[in-house]
């Protein structure tokens, strides 16, 4: 067998030279900071200067003559104890099941209407106001309408026993009548 010999040639390839960076400048030593002496010690426990207190007596109080207030005027006691208006008859008769508003009956509404009336010296109702609503305006209106029409009173009296204007408060409970 024949041996083959190959010839190998080597070539050196040189890389182009890179420009060299200049070396950094040498570090200059900074001047050391100036030497500062520590502050002198401060004595915190300094005793305050002595305080001298001079007392001066207050001037004498002025003399004010005492004048008694006038005696209160006392109203003469009433000859008769005043009384409020008192219903004549039974207040339950002022509004009956026959007075139930038709629409409220049809819609099955019930409730309690609180009222206050003003009573004349003659014992008749002169005005009526609802103080707590039943929740239905027609029941409240029926309350004042019936009480104003039907209620009669022994009028209120003043301290002389004379009839005077008074007031009366009560409630009417509206309940759907059972057949």
Cα 108 to Cα 98: distance, rounded to the nearest angstrom: 15
Name the pLDDT band for 37 (thresholds 50, 70, 90): confident
pLDDT digits (tens, 9 = 90+) for 16-32: 666 667 777 666 666 77
Eight-class DSSP state of 62: P
Structure confidence at residue 52 (pLDDT): 72
Cα 109 to Cα 118: distance, rounded to the nearest angstrom: 28
pLDDT digits (tens, 9 = 90+) for 75-132: 777 677 889 999 999 999 999 989 999 999 999 999 999 999 999 999 999 999 999 9
pLDDT digits (tens, 9 = 90+) for 156-177: 999 888 999 999 999 999 998 8
Eight-class DSSP state of 95: S
Name the pLDDT band for 153 (thresholds 50, 70, 90): very high
Answer yes or no: are the C-beta atoms of 113 and 137 closer than 8 Å.
no
Of 4-8, 60-64, 98-102, the one with minimum mean pLDDT is 4-8
Structure confidence at residue 62 (pLDDT): 77
Name the pLDDT band for 35 (thresholds 50, 70, 90): confident
Structure confidence at residue 74 (pLDDT): 76
């Amino acid at each position: 067998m024949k041996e083959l010999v190959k010839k190998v040639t080597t070539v050196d390839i040189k890389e182009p030279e890179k420009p060299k960076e200049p070396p950094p400048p040498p570090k200059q030593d900074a001047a050391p900071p100036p030497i500062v002496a520590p502050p002198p010690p401060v004595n915190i426990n300094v005793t305050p200067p002595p305080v001298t207190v001079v007392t001066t007596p207050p001037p004498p109080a002025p003399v004010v003559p005492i004048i008694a207030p006038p005696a209160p005027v006392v109203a003469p006691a009433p000859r008769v104890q005043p009384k409020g208006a008192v219903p004549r008859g039974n207040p339950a008769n002022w509004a009956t099941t026959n007075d139930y508003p038709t629409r409220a009956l049809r819609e099955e509404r019930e409730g309690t209407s609180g009222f206050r009336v003003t009573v004349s010296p003659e014992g008749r109702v002169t005005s009526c106001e609802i103080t707590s609503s039943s929740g239905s305006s027609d029941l409240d209106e029926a309350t004042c309408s019936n009480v104003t029409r039907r209620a009669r009173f022994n009028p209120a009296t003043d301290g002389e026993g004379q009839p005077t204007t008074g007031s009366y408060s009560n409630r009417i409970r509206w309940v759907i009548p059972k057949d």
